[in-house]
Amino acid sequence: MPVSDDRSWQITEPWRIDFDDPVTELDVRVVGGTVNVVGTQETTTRVEVGEVEGPPLLVRREGGRLIVAYEDLPWGGFLKWLDRKGRRRKAEVSVRVPADVALSVGVVGATAVVSGIHGGTKVAGVSGATTLVGLRGPVTAETVSGDVETQRLSGPLRFSTVSGDLTCVDGALGTITADSVSGAIILDLNSSRADGPAAIRLSSVSGELAVRLPADADLTVEAQSAGGAVSSAFERLTTTGWGCRRVAGALGGGRGALQANSVSGGVALLRRPPGADGLGEGPRPGDRVGAAQGAGAARGGRPPGPPGGSATPGNPTSPKDL
């Protein structure tokens, strides 16, 4: 069903909508189920909704903005949202959208996969795994307990969580800021450079911190933990301290900066094998690298692929403010 004007739908069963006019902003917020967003070089947008349980899922077009969300799930206070009616919800959503879109995805107990987006991406999750692949623009991710796994990110990354883990595979040496209470932060960085010197700042209370760097890293390093083990695979870095353990020094010309601080979690600086640039050589998404030991232990599997939504009728409704 091609659509070009501003309209709104309540979706209660499988449905597919095609938008011919360019979408410049996409906002997806669901509870339960799956979200798949793929950036393409096409100017059209397709929304496919598979299985839907619970209240209707709203699809609304506002000029260049496209919203796919539950009406009672706003962005304001998203991470503290609670369904007071206790209704079971589930939605399978797949969106094919122009790659330069500005994207916001919020999930509660759902899995999300985002790939090929070149505009800015914002992710919020109460629980459920999120996978980000091949994103070029700035990425901001906030979770309570949901894990975030990334592959081949080339833009700035900001991550914040209470107990979720961050696993970054084959990422560029750029701007990365990540903080956690108890979740692990694992970075596997390649030799590609973002604009300007790298700026990497990691912090945790009890979560493990591990960074695997290429041999040609150009960084001034300072990493420490008050109560956890600290280790380094780089001879040019010096390890000191009995109480607060610390690793510091310069790699290459030291133009960029790497700061990693933990209260009681382990901190590990690992060396990427020569010629390991490329996704196949890094740790696989779902693998957890122990910061104290520098070893991996397998974690959860992949979210399911996009649903094959069929073009069966839905229930049109008047526009509503989301």
Does residue 140 fall inside a structural domain?
Answer: no
Pair (160, 213) in one structural domain: yes
State which amino acid sits at residue 55: P
Pair (155, 292) in one structural domain: yes
Does residue 20 fall inside a structural domain?
Answer: yes
Does residue 141 fall inside a structural domain?
Answer: no
Pair (168, 269) in one structural domain: yes
Does residue 33 fall inside a structural domain?
Answer: yes
What does the pLDDT read at residue 80? 45
As a whole number, the mean pLDDT across the chain is: 82
Pair (169, 258) in one structural domain: yes
Pair (83, 12) in one structural domain: yes
Does residue 243 fall inside a structural domain?
Answer: yes
Pair (306, 250) in one structural domain: no
pLDDT tens profile 227-282: 999 999 999 999 887 766 999 999 999 999 999 999 999 999 999 987 666 544 44
Phi-psi group of 293: left, alpha or beta (phi > 0 → left; psi -120 to 50 → alpha; rest → beta): alpha
* Three-class secondary structure of residue 172 per DSSP: strand
List the end-to-end C-alpha distance of the chain, in Å, as a whole number: 23
Does residue 137 fall inside a structural domain?
Answer: no
pLDDT tens profile 55-108: 889 999 998 999 999 876 554 554 444 444 545 778 999 999 999 999 999 998
Report DSSP state, residue 272: P
Pair (101, 48) in one structural domain: yes
* Three-class secondary structure of residue 114 per DSSP: strand
State which amino acid sits at residue 148: V
Does residue 139 fall inside a structural domain?
Answer: no
Instruction: Provide the token pair at 229.
Output: 């083990």
Distances (CA, A) of 112 to 7, 79, 145: 25, 16, 14
Domain count, the chain: 2
Residue among 61, 58, 66 at smallest CA distance from 314: 58
For the chain, how are helix, strand and coil distributed in percent, rounded to 5?
A: 0, 50, 45
Write down the pTM of the prediction.
Answer: 0.82
9 with 47: CB under 8 angstroms?
no
Whether residue 109 has pLDDT greater than 90: no
The arithmetic mean of pLDDT across residues 130-152, rounded, is 95
Pair (281, 182) in one structural domain: yes
Pair (124, 8) in one structural domain: yes
pLDDT tens profile 166-216: 999 999 989 999 999 999 999 999 987 767 899 999 999 999 999 999 989
What does the pLDDT read at residue 276? 66
Does residue 118 fall inside a structural domain?
Answer: yes
Pair (123, 204) in one structural domain: no
Pair (101, 160) in one structural domain: no
127 with 147: CB under 8 angstroms?
no
**Angstrom distance (rounded) from CA 258 to CA 198:** 8
The arithmetic mean of pLDDT across residues 134-150, rounded, is 94
| Domain containing residue 225 | 148-298
Per-residue burial over 19-53, b = 16 or more CB atoms within 10 Å of its CB, e = otherwise: bebebebbbbbbbbbbbbbbbeeeeebbbbbbebe
What does the pLDDT read at residue 153? 94
What does the pLDDT read at residue 274? 76
Quickly state the pLDDT bin for 122 (edges 50, 70, 90): very high
Quickly state the pLDDT bin for 291 (edges 50, 70, 90): very low
- 63 contacts: CB under 8 Å, gap ≥ 6: 6
Pair (9, 93) in one structural domain: yes
**Mean pLDDT lowest for which of 119-133, 260-274, 280-294?**
280-294
What does the pLDDT read at residue 202? 98
